Structure 1
Amino acid sequence: MSRQINTARPRTSVKMNPFEEKALTYVDGVAGPVAHGFHPELYTASGIDALSILLKIYDRPNPQVNTGAIDTNCPLILCDLAREDCPIVYASGPFAQLTGYHPTEVLGQNCRFLQIPPTGVKVKRTAEDKAALKEIRHAVRNNLECQVQITNYRKDGSKFLNYLTIIPVQWNSTKFNYSVGLQNSIAEL
């Protein structure tokens, strides 16, 4: 069986990377060599494979919280639990759309910055927010899953009620070394 490649450029208005173009023009099902420069994190320029994050959430052995239907359209962040102050190491495009912060603006920060207006004005926390923060701290310290409703602020200063789900994940380790935060705006405040 000879290998056939359709050399015609695929008809699409969507901009594709070279690997995707090769995949669309591939015909006979025979596996060929991997394209030069191909890496498993093809779907994100950050080097973090967003699809693998979602698979780790789906495949966790004893789910404690119901995430509902999640996919790459879900606002999410990934925090490094092994580093001091658990900084954000990945933020998705939908997170940027929800909060107004470009992913590069949040990398290296602890996600608590979302609890403060960008103006830096001190705000009085509600009893519900205080309870949510206590639950978040307990969950992160003990590698537990949690879901809370907490007031967060966008880059433009507007506040929203965030239905936050936190799930610790093991990534190339037997320890929980990352935490995934899934956000869902449930009310404008």
Structure 2
Amino acid sequence: MVDTTAPGVVSVTPSSGATGVSKDANVVVTFSEPMNQASAQTAFQSANLGVNTFSWNAEGTTMTVNPNADLEYTLSGKTYTFSVTTTATDKAGNALSSASEGSFKTFKRITTNVLNKASTNAEINNTNTVSSATADIQVGDAANNSSKRGFVGFDLSTLPADLVPANIESARVKMYVEAIVGQPFTQLFPPSNC
């Protein structure tokens, strides 16, 4: 029996118009029947996904497009576009019934300053006594040889409400030394001739 049925695109992920796509996302195209893989790979076109590596499921119906370079995050999220043209054919040589086009946008990259919330700062000593530390935080050994640890709080209300911790790329804390009592660094790093 001769196959004269034109194949079609059943689904594409990320779906067209998707936002907040991860930098390591792949484009996955599922066809209605087994495809001529070489023709489908050639038919996949994108102006900005760069060089890609292709892989297929055993049935030859699902093509995974893995960009060799991670997708970019930008201030507004970067938009990527792609298409599968009608030069893609099934194993019988029937051309794709219609071209499939899509676009998606990656996560936004946001840089923000999160300020210290002084009312949440605290010190705790080796007897588990907690003291508020709205101005300065003491850490190390006190004069009576008791140890102190400091805790710093931050106001996170400026961060997006839907922020997922796994999507935080980096964070940096800036703290300043106001005073040093004694010679703690000498004690930590004594001269080499001692």
TM-score (norm 2): 0.23
TM-score (norm 1): 0.23
Which is richer in strand? Answer: 2
Which is richer in helix? Answer: 1
